[in-house]
Structure 1
Amino acid sequence: MLRQDPSGIAPERALVFETVVSITRFQNAAANAGFELLIEDPLGDDYDIPEEMVDDYVDAASPTLYATMPSTSDLQRLLSLWRSYQAQEDAERGLAPWWTLFSMLSDIRVWGPQDRLTPEVRAELAYRLNQGDDQPLRLELEIWPTANATLRRRWLRDSRAKIEALGGRILASSEIDETDFVYQAVLAEMPADAVREMLANPMAPEGVANLDGLQFILPQMVAQSLPDDSDAAQPLEDALESFSEDAPIRAVLLDGTPIAGHPALNNGVVIEDVHDLVRLSQVEHRRHATAMASLILRGDLQADGDPVPDARLLSIPILIDDAHGASSPNDRLFVDLVHVALARAFLGEDALAPEAHLVNFSVGIRQGHFAGRIGSLARLLDWWSERHGILFMVAAGNVSDDLNVAGTTFTAFDDADQTERRRLVESAQKESRQFRTLMAPGEAMNVLTVGASSQDLSAPRIGPPTGSIILNDADDPYPAVSSAIGLGAFRSIKPDFIAPAGEHELRASSSADGVRLRVVDRTQRSGLNVATVQRGAANTYKTRGTSCANALSSRSALFSLAALTDADGPFAEQPLSPRDKALLTKALCVNASSWPTAAVEKFTAEFAPNPRRHAQAREEVCRYYGHGLLNDQRMREAPAQGATLVGLGTLRKDRAAIFDVPLPPSLSGERIGRSMVVTVAWFTPIRVTRARYRLAALDAVPHGYDLFGEFTEDDGWALAMKSGQLDANLIKRGTVWSRRLTHSNPIVPNFTTDLRLPVRVQCRDSSGGGLSPDDDIRFALAISMELEAETNYDIREELETALRVGVRQEG
């Protein structure tokens, strides 16, 4: 089997294929030769890499595939055929398809040192060597994931012996052996000379890279939150009511240490020092976690300030705060640190937050940009989501590097109008996007990844200073230039959506080939107003970034849960499990997101030059916007001229559930524009030992029967509407399926008052055999209907009167 991810390869039978053609062409040749190329979803017939991007794509995406052979003899036979091809021998009878396949390859080899040291890792280690002179370097060695404990013990023993023989030492080790999740790694400190020798000669028999059973060598995973250098602060303008000590803990914050006694947070935050890190964080530096807690519990203190109803926040510090920001301990494996924190929060009779369903994760991995491989931290969060029903809200990450805009001059850029400036910036982002990808663990499949919209929630008191560049308009939100961009694993939609993150100001300066843009950090003119401490006093200040967007989104999720479960909510009389709460809020987050005007204009600009590339044009917009800008109000309430319906269900492989949704009687016979959004959210089981990592895929399809009882498919969902911004292939790659339907030229729908709209949610195995027919896949469904104009009737009231959602299982 050919795979794109090495995680599922048996190490003793692992082969590496390096291609010189596109994945699509190689897929066809592999099929002719009898190999199955395992990718999450087949590429469309019209999908191709634009010619002007071929070299960049090859360099950045590393078109390398991995194969696991049924036996060692099969591996040797394939290598023998490859050598015959290289020797220019003629193909034997029946082997011509293999020769065609070989013509598309630059190399076939057994998994080895060059695969354990990826180009991205080699570059990062070389950079750290240059920065640290002859200081020792800390490396993480990950073994192949296997449930065989005997093999893991042997690899650990051999790793220790090899590291010590080279003058290094093991600082920490971790073994996580859970059902469907295995992780084992060591944190080693190595002499600088030994690392230089490893990079110069990775094939050396005595080197670490040649260690049997080793999967990857990585720089130490260091989690961080960026420092905020602003020295300006303001006192709280209004006294704030304390949170109730009796309120349940609804969410968990994994970050640094917040100032729990700050007047904006008083009684709202419970700190549990699971890792004994609080004593290492001086109070005057506890800014990032305090800001996150402030945004989750109070929102922007100038624009909002209202407390999240009936909720408190559990904080488990995983970072150490200092004058340079916050970072994870340098003597621990970060994956282990997170796993222990989550276990303490959610597992056991003395769990710290048994009622919580949401984890805010607004920290990123230093230099941990997504390069195609799902990292161990992302896999851990995916496993926790599915196994324990936890919704992780993850910041997409901030890119601190300046953006170089080529092909213009400082004067021309300064004189350009907003449309032209945006065009130049977007072109520059596209040229450098391999360096601006999602920050780990934002590539995880089961999480919600949140990007940043350059947008304040309260108007700045003064205008921007001379020379500042602001790409967003007051009524037209725009992605922050510093926000990391997608797509995610298996080309899934990432970020899932964007949210307000404070207005970002830019400063331009001349560069050798154009203009260099830098985000202004030290400004208190704009941003989101949050709690902080300065010079020992409780104050507020303004900040910005994807962390802020993520915290505000977590707040919206908690408010939506309150709306679902309060006295007037649909689940007022029904107890919800943490998993159900997590899935409902996950579905509502995406359901309440839509492309703003700037996103639609970007799609038009991408689509116009070549209408055949509509799929690529949509992907390009999703890299920045995902499903769109989160509408906080729609998380809490139904549309003003519409209604939102929610439901829950459980499916197994190749099964379906049909939700009978009533149609508003007043729509019958009315010529009025309307729209509908259908969203399904789930947590997929994962298998880290399989290349096709996502096991379960769900979607919703129109479903109905005609007068004679025959099945009929209605692409308009019985409302004669057409699909909106995202096509069917794009929305099916992740763990949220969301389709927007609109009707701008309405016909007059005629139906009886008891007509139901059947929505069929179905589950399929997306892994080629990994999903068990006994696996229960819990899901949430959200459906929003909205009219374009005010009417004299209330379709929400009509639906509430008629709603008796029936669910029937299909075999």
Structure 2
Amino acid sequence: MPHDPEKPLLRLNEPSGAGRRRSPAGGSRARAFDRGAQERAHGPLFRRLHTILDRADAALELRADASSLAPERLLVFEVTGSIQNFVNAISRIPGLEFAGEEELAPDEFDKNPEFYLLVPQLDALRQIVSLWEGWQRAGTVPRNYGPWAQLFAQLRMIRPWGPADRVSEQNREYFRHAIDGAADDELLRIEIELVFRASGDTAQAAEAAIANQITHSGGAIIDRSRHPEFGYHAILADVPAAEIRRLAELDPGSLAGADPVAAIVPQSVGTPIEAEDQTPVDQARPHPPVEDPIAAVFDGVPVQAHPLLAGRLAIDDPTNLEARAVGQRLHGTAMASIALHGDLNDPPTPISRRVYFRPVMYAPAIGDELFDGDRLVVDVIVEAVIRMRANGGGNVIIVNVSLGDITKPFTGKISTWARALDYLAFRYGILFLVSAGNVNAGISMRDFANAAEFEAARSADRSRGALRGVDAAKADRRLLAPADSLNSLTIGAWHRDSSSEVFGGVTPFVPYDGEEMPNLSSRLGPGLRRSTKPEALFAGGRQRGRLDPVAAPPILLSHPNPSRFWGLKVAAPPGNGGMGLHYTMGTSAATALATHSAHRIFDALERAYPALIAQMPLAERAALLKALLVHAASWRGSDKFIRSVIDPDAEMHHEHWRREVCRHLGYGFVDPEDAIACASDRATMWATGSIGPEGSIVFDVPIPAVFGNSSSPREVRATLAWFAPTRPGHLAYRAVKLRVPSLHTDDLETAGISTTTGQPTNTQSESGTIVHRRWRNARIGTAAGGGTIPVQVQREIDQGARIDEGVPFGLAVTVEMPGAIQVYDQILPSIRVRPRPQVRA
């Protein structure tokens, strides 16, 4: 049933303490080698190192050879699998600094290989050699150094971090293209990420060495930044084309061979949006009555004077990007419009407060909107959040980031921008809503010989062919930074909008006719360590497709131009003599719609529970909105369509095919109306709190009596969200994990429900900072007069050092039986803290 504003969300009763449930078992044991095999493989390297270390000028000799293991050089220890407590063992060697660990692609021998990154001083190198020699002689190492014996047994390779590590093949190609035909002294602006060193003095010396190398090559330093809170140290520099050519060719004498450098990447470039089909302003919307904002938008400079934006934005522009925004202010104007009003095709859904707006891009006279080219974008965002908290945004709990860096698609390692958002989310209690990014590259449909064959095919075959093409290209359609952020919600674009105009043409056409799916251009997951990304899909316009007219096999292209027939209606910059409206689509628009929806949820909660919300900590407010935004998500049956393409013979393990569905759908499609209030046949309950180390609490969720006297279909779903502190550089990057243990068999019987495969697997759901569980069935429950089932929230043993600080969480639980109008009324008497009575407007 549609939501009923007179049936607000219900607050769960206070939890009680609960015994801890056993956590799932870990993975399989990693492969190990005997000492003889390791001596043959690595003995020559260690013997040569021993010989050189005995010399008086050992450090100079080792550093002179770019291929050697040398002091103050980042070293790679590649192993067959994770080594327990190895980081603690590293700390026992004076002068040995841990710099990170990363996953490697699995192969036929090892399922979970990885590597450790260490920076040794000279004496630390000597001690590593000594440990190796002791292990070779007796198979043992001194007490408290046990993990080193395991490392030696699992060691696949040891080598220095080299030019190919610092400049990826993708970035080498980018640089070659960027300087093609350029004179040697022509400058290209790039970002140089340095190996993060804990010591400020060591970091400063490394930065100075790289700065000297850049200026010596004829370049210049433009900006620099260091943030120990999330392990970031970088330089923005102009570098001559001659040097760019050298580093693109992996010349060890170039910046690509410099020991302090971790990575060399292109300067961050924002993602543009398309907006078309301008119409006059044909409507007025109410002004928010409250000035104090709870939502913010970080985006391009908007048209502040637009009649739908004027007086509704709290603009904070400390760097005066307004003066540089002389072109078409498309992006920021559209995002501000959606955050304030939603899709203007819809009836008004006003929000209660102004929106804080921080310009971080501007529209030049010609071309797409740009970040400030003289700043590192990560630093801009960090500075913007800190300033916001002290300058008019002290109560902001939602920040819209409909931005992405087209030069930094996700490759398995978390981006620096994502690390920044993760730190800021936990430190300041902010829910960042981040767009997944759009990709417009064509899709080859090899099911068809040519365009004519595609056009003659049945609609269902065309849809399957389109999805097969997307699936074949999935590696090239990954998320854009910072959408890989673990604490943020990443939003994809649902092929949906509220336009009522009917398009009568044949092309462009609907790519997935009759199926609920993301837009063709919406980028795909998963996220870090196979976590669920994007978590949710919001309406992003009914983007259509078109064919390359000459390609064979046919190439399917995302139709880039929104219109009144497909797109979200938004405020437009001046055109044809006055302010107007036009249409946009994509993940940026979908993310802004999620921000508008989160604000509406907050407003509904504040109306129903003014005293509770007023005293609730900001981080708990943000975590609750995070849970409620995802709580309404579902696959809507689209998993069946996707599985029919990726697993037509139903041979995949359920973990595998559900992981592939999740790549496209995340937790699913969100209709915001389902998240704002309850209905007669649906009761959504919520709770917030903070849970300490190894804490475990249980909420008793009331079950309506109708569950015990009807066999109608019913569902119970639970969504848990939190903000985790992080461990930059570690594979166990998320320092705190919460989970919702499975319901016991007796509890399933009480409600007449069972587990379902129509959702991501527990393993994947528990890899991020959102756990979303659902149980369904159509059988009579055992609690004929009602009852309760326990939903437990448990904090697992912290990764790394114990964190004494409590972690803020939000929990949402829904009990639903479609068509059973007594559900809400049967649950309400069990609720101790009642919502304020709602008056229909």
Q: Alignment partner for residue 218 of structure 1, among 265, 275, 278?
A: 265
Residue number in structure 1 paired with 2:287: 242
SS of equivalent residue, structure 2 residue 164: helix
Residue number in structure 2 paired with 1:547: 588
Q: Alignment partner for residue 800 of structure 1, among 828, 831, 834?
A: 828
State the shift of 1:666 in Å: 3.7
Q: Alignment partner for residue 333 of structure 1, among 376, 396, 401?
A: 376
Residue number in structure 1 paired with 2:387: 344
1:40 and 1:476 map into 2 onto residues whose CA distance is 41
Residue number in structure 2 paired with 1:88: none
Q: Deviations 1:674-730 (Å, cap 9, x if unpaired)? A: 101111000010121433211111111257xxxxxxxx7757284242222222212
Identity of aligned residues (%): 28
2:83 and 2:193 map into 1 onto residues whose CA distance is 33
Residue number in structure 2 paired with 1:398: 438
Instruction: State the AA in 1 paired with 2:530.
Output: R
Query: Retained in 2: the 8 A contact 1:14–1:66?
Result: no
Query: Retained in 2: the 8 A contact 1:18–1:105?
Result: yes
Q: Alignment partner for residue 592 of structure 1, among 627, 632, 635?
A: 632
1:41 and 1:331 map into 2 onto residues whose CA distance is 31
Instruction: State the AA in 2 paired with 1:164.
Output: T
State the shift of 1:482 in Å: 0.5
SS of equivalent residue, structure 1 residue 630: coil
Residue number in structure 1 paired with 2:556: 517
Q: Give the 5 Å matches for 1:653-732.
A: 653-702=693-742, 714=746, 716=748, 718-724=750-756, 725=758, 726-732=760-766
Q: Alignment partner for residue 150 of structure 1, among 197, 201, 205?
A: 201
SS of equivalent residue, structure 2 residue 657: helix
Query: Retained in 2: the 8 A contact 1:145–1:688?
Result: no
Query: Retained in 2: the 8 A contact 1:13–1:72?
Result: no
Query: Retained in 1: the 8 A contact 2:172–2:248?
Result: yes
2:566 and 2:246 map into 1 onto residues whose CA distance is 49
SS of equivalent residue, structure 1 residue 380: helix
Residue number in structure 2 paired with 1:85: none
1:399 and 1:78 map into 2 onto residues whose CA distance is 50
Q: Deviations 1:183-212 (Å, cap 9, x if unpaired)? A: 2211111110111112224322xx222323
Query: Retained in 1: the 8 A contact 2:546–2:556?
Result: yes
CA 1:189/1:722 → structure 2, altered by over 3 Å: closer, same or farther? same
State the shift of 1:80 in Å: 8.6
Instruction: State the AA in 1 paired with 2:166.
Output: R
1:113 and 1:713 map into 2 onto residues whose CA distance is 56
The RMSD of aligned alpha carbons is 3.6
CA 1:798/1:752 → structure 2, altered by over 3 Å: closer, same or farther? closer
Query: Retained in 1: the 8 A contact 2:753–2:776?
Result: yes
Residue number in structure 2 paired with 1:209: 256
Query: Retained in 2: the 8 A contact 1:607–1:613?
Result: no
Residue number in structure 2 paired with 1:380: 420
1:688 and 1:496 map into 2 onto residues whose CA distance is 22
Query: Retained in 2: the 8 A contact 1:396–1:442?
Result: yes
Instruction: State the AA in 2 paired with 1:110.
Output: P
State the shift of 1:668 in Å: 2.7
Q: Give the 5 Å matches for 1:520-599.
A: 520-524=559-563, 525-533=565-573, 534-566=575-607, 568-569=608-609, 575-599=615-639
CA 1:523/1:12 → structure 2, altered by over 3 Å: closer, same or farther? same
State the shift of 1:523 in Å: 4.3
State the shift of 1:646 in Å: 0.1
State the shift of 1:389 in Å: 0.3
1:260 and 1:287 map into 2 onto residues whose CA distance is 12
1:419 and 1:118 map into 2 onto residues whose CA distance is 40
Query: Retained in 1: the 8 A contact 2:102–2:730?
Result: no
Query: Aligned pair count?
Result: 743
Residue number in structure 1 paired with 2:536: 497
Query: Retained in 2: the 8 A contact 1:255–1:361?
Result: yes
Instruction: State the AA in 2 paired with 1:215.
Output: A
Instruction: State the AA in 1 paired with 2:332.
Output: A
Q: Give the 5 Å matches for 1:243-262.
A: 243-244=288-289, 246-262=290-306
Instruction: State the AA in 2 paired with 1:247.
Output: E
SS of equivalent residue, structure 1 residue 145: coil
Instruction: State the AA in 2 paired with 1:239.
Output: A
- Does residue 505 of structure 2 align to residue 452 of structure 1? no
2:724 and 2:530 map into 1 onto residues whose CA distance is 16
Query: Retained in 2: the 8 A contact 1:294–1:530?
Result: yes
- Does residue 217 of structure 2 align to residue 184 of structure 1? no
1:447 and 1:520 map into 2 onto residues whose CA distance is 29
Residue number in structure 2 paired with 1:299: 342
Instruction: State the AA in 2 paired with 1:634.
Output: D
1:569 and 1:30 map into 2 onto residues whose CA distance is 47
Q: Deviations 1:551-605 (Å, cap 9, x if unpaired)? A: 1111111111111110x34866753232122111100011110002323321354
1:642 and 1:715 map into 2 onto residues whose CA distance is 19
Residue number in structure 2 paired with 1:749: 782
Q: Deviations 1:647-689 (Å, cap 9, x if unpaired)? A: 0121122111111222223433332221011110000101214
Residue number in structure 2 paired with 1:506: 545
State the shift of 1:532 in Å: 0.4
1:469 and 1:558 map into 2 onto residues whose CA distance is 34
Give the alignment's TM-score, normalised by structure 2: 0.81
Instruction: State the AA in 1 paired with 2:594.
Output: S
Query: Retained in 1: the 8 A contact 2:635–2:665?
Result: yes
State the shift of 1:264 in Å: 1.4
Query: Retained in 2: the 8 A contact 1:476–1:596?
Result: no
SS of equivalent residue, structure 2 residue 180: helix
SS of equivalent residue, structure 2 residue 471: helix
Instruction: State the AA in 2 paired with 1:118.
Output: S
Q: Alignment partner for residue 308 of structure 2, among 264, 286, 304?
A: 264
State the shift of 1:766 in Å: 5.5
- Does residue 169 of structure 2 align to residue 137 of structure 1? no
SS of equivalent residue, structure 1 residue 675: strand
State the shift of 1:108 in Å: 3.0
SS of equivalent residue, structure 1 residue 747: coil
Instruction: State the AA in 2 paired with 1:208.
Output: L
- Does residue 362 of structure 2 align to residue 320 of structure 1? yes
1:247 and 1:781 map into 2 onto residues whose CA distance is 29
User: Is there any run of 5+ residues in structure 2 with no aligned partner, and where?
Assistant: 1-28, 31-69, 91-98, 141-146, 835-841
State the shift of 1:146 in Å: 3.4
State the shift of 1:491 in Å: 0.5
Give the alignment's TM-score, normalised by structure 1: 0.84
Q: Alignment partner for residue 72 of structure 1, among 104, 125, 137?
A: 125
Residue number in structure 2 paired with 1:124: 174
Residue number in structure 1 paired with 2:407: 367
Residue number in structure 1 paired with 2:23: none
Residue number in structure 2 paired with 1:159: 210
2:650 and 2:183 map into 1 onto residues whose CA distance is 51
Query: Retained in 2: the 8 A contact 1:673–1:789?
Result: no
Q: Deviations 1:403-452 (Å, cap 9, x if unpaired)? A: 22234221121122232222212221222222110011000100000001
SS of equivalent residue, structure 1 residue 285: coil
Q: Deviations 1:229-281 (Å, cap 9, x if unpaired)? A: 63x3101222333344x432121111101112211122111211122211000
1:423 and 1:78 map into 2 onto residues whose CA distance is 58
Query: Retained in 2: the 8 A contact 1:384–1:390?
Result: yes
2:204 and 2:119 map into 1 onto residues whose CA distance is 25
CA 1:29/1:575 → structure 2, altered by over 3 Å: closer, same or farther? closer
SS of equivalent residue, structure 2 residue 297: strand
